[in-house]
Amino acid sequence: MSSLMPAISKNAKVLALFAIACTAAVGFVHSLTKDRIELQAQQKLIQQLNEIIPSDRHDNEMFRDCLIAPQDSHSELLIDVIYRARLNNEATAAAIKTVAPDGYSGNIELLIAINSDGSVSGVRALDHKETPGLGDKIELRKSDWIASFTGKKVLDENDSRWAVVKDGGMFDQFTGATITPRAVVNTVKKTIEYFKANQVLIFTSDSNCGEQP
């Protein structure tokens, strides 16, 4: 048994050195790719913001002019970050990152842009797990359905138009999939109501979220 101890000790040292080398390599690769990943995420965010708030409606860097959403005790929304658009220092629109929690397969992450007059500037689905070929039609690359929000307003909290056609509203549902568009419509409506109730605070608060996508 004693004759095996030097070999075991040697193998243990080799394995320890190998583990240290692997950890160092992973750390080195991460350090090389971290900045690139962050840059790509930032560029994707800028592209998405410019898609739903046209460049002729802002002259500021929206991804920098942002804040953690002020919480409204009366709101059921799951709001993350708000990006502000300004033209000649005048507020023109806000893009609100939020979540529709009641999709068919769970959360649907949305970016909802609202003009200062309360009309929708644009909506994009950022992330979801909806059924391919059905619920994924909320993606612009699959369908232009998400563009149907553009220009729409909520007249009041009882505006019954803000529902899918099956529920008596003005937004089409998908063939074989009603839950997904219903969830998106409800969240867009609630987000507009949140924006209208908090508009002054949204545009006058200091930026406090850095440059995070």
pTM of the complete model: 0.79
The verdict on residue 9 lying in a domain is no
Phi, psi of 35 (to 5 degrees): -60, -40
Q: Each residue of 91-124: b (16+ CB within 10 Å) or e?
A: bbbbbbbbbbeebbeeebbbbbbbbbeebbbbbb
Percent pLDDT > 70 in the chain is 77
Tally of structural domains, the chain: 1
The verdict on residue 195 lying in a domain is yes
pLDDT score of 139: 94
Phi, psi of 31 (to 5 degrees): -65, -30
pLDDT category at 134 given cuts 50, 70, 90 is: confident
The verdict on residue 168 lying in a domain is yes
The verdict on residue 16 lying in a domain is no
**Which range in 10-19, 30-39, 203-212 is most confidently predicted, on average pLDDT?**
203-212
The verdict on residue 196 lying in a domain is yes
The verdict on residue 142 lying in a domain is yes
DSSP character at residue 212: -
Residue 124 domain boundaries: 55-204
The verdict on residue 38 lying in a domain is no
List pLDDT tens digits, range 52-82. 999 999 999 999 999 987 666 556 788 889 9
